Every structure is written in C-alpha cells, then in structure tokens.
A and B are shown apart, each in its own frame.
Chain A
C-alpha cells in the first residue's frame, strides 16, 4: 500500500521566517510527487516533481525531490500571513493510476 508521511504536522512561525516542510513516501511505480496549498477551501496545485535534484520555484516557494531517499521538501522564504494554510503532499502511482495524499502540514504565520 502506498504511503505518504508529512512532517511536521503543525508549524507556527513569525512573519518573515523561512520554513521547510517535509514529505516522505513509499510507493511502487512512482511517477510524480505533487504539492498543494489548502486554505479554507479547495486544494490548489503548487508543484509537480518527477526528477530528482531539479528545483521547482515559484516566487518565494520552492521544492525539490530526492528519488533515492524518497522524500521532498517545500521551502517558503520570507513568509507572509497569506502563506497560512495546510500544505498537502501527494504521490502518483502509474501502476494503479492512483494519487495518494499525506495528512498535510498546517502552517500558521504570526504577524
């Protein structure tokens, strides 16, 4: 059974801090790892990673994948209150064509 574990479960930091969120996985037939941001509504897509060592970047957010050690990190620099959300990690298994989600990291940014 595929498994995705995110850590920490919850994180509270001050505005301006840099945070690193972790996602480790066990999946047969790995194809991709995805990060989502979930505020009070729908998860919205941030990144999809398929290759090790290639950083994906969007503004203050960046992410990288390590397929040997089976994990990914999501970095957010110079955090703002608008970054407060649950961040979800998911992996796609191309064998059974299934997307498995982690439980998420709840990030709270204090002004």
Chain B
C-alpha cells in the first residue's frame, strides 16, 4: 500500500529537549515536504526536499532542521523545541515538485511542547 508514515503520532516534550519526527514514504517519490497546521493559520510549509541531499526552506523554517540522506526518509528535527512549536505536523510527498494533485500526506504528528 502506498503511504507516507510518520512517527510518533503524538508527542509531549519539554522546552529545549531535542526531538526528531520521522517520515518515510514507499512510493519512490523525489519530492518531500513538512507542514505545520495551526488553528486560524492553515497548513504552512516548513521545509521541502526535491531529491536526496537537496533541501530548502519553506515559509516557516525557523527552529527546524531537516535532512534527506535517503530518498525514502525525510526527518524533521527540533534542536531546542519551544512552546510556539506546539502544532500538528504533516509530512507529504509527491513524484516531483509541481505534481500537486499527487501530494500524499502522512497521518500527522501532534506535538505539544511544555
């Protein structure tokens, strides 16, 4: 089954404690992206990657890091989480950038930073 898998689904942490949210896709997609979703603000792009070792900032990259060492994986790293990063996070992938109708989303990670 074609899917984007995120882990964990729920995470509660404290300010400053480094964390990683994993994302893996099994569709051999070149393009992967991270979004955060906040009430009243919609989905906003954090970082994206057009292929292995190619990453770029989205609209709200501050406080986040990503890496793309393998095609299937695109982890999101919060080096020093803060309460304003409490949000619902989605990873997404598509065959290439620009294939917007083929953008598959993961099931989301609800992060709470205390």
Contacts and interface: CB of A to CB of B under 8 A. Distances in A.
B101 to A, nearest CB: 4
A97 B97 contact: yes
A103 B40 contact: yes
A81 B44 CA distance: 29
Chain B interface residue number, banded: 10 to 19
B47 interface: no
Interface residues of A, number: 21
Classify the interface of chain B: helix, strand, loop or mixed: mixed
B54 interface: no
Contacts of B41: 103
Given A32-B101, A41-B107, A41-B108, A98 B45 contact: yes
B81 interface: no
A94 B100 CA distance: 10
A73 interface: no
A45 B103 contact: yes
Interface of A: 4, 31-32, 34, 41-45, 48, 88, 90, 92, 94, 97-99, 101-104
Interface of B: 4, 40-45, 90, 97-98, 100-101, 103-108
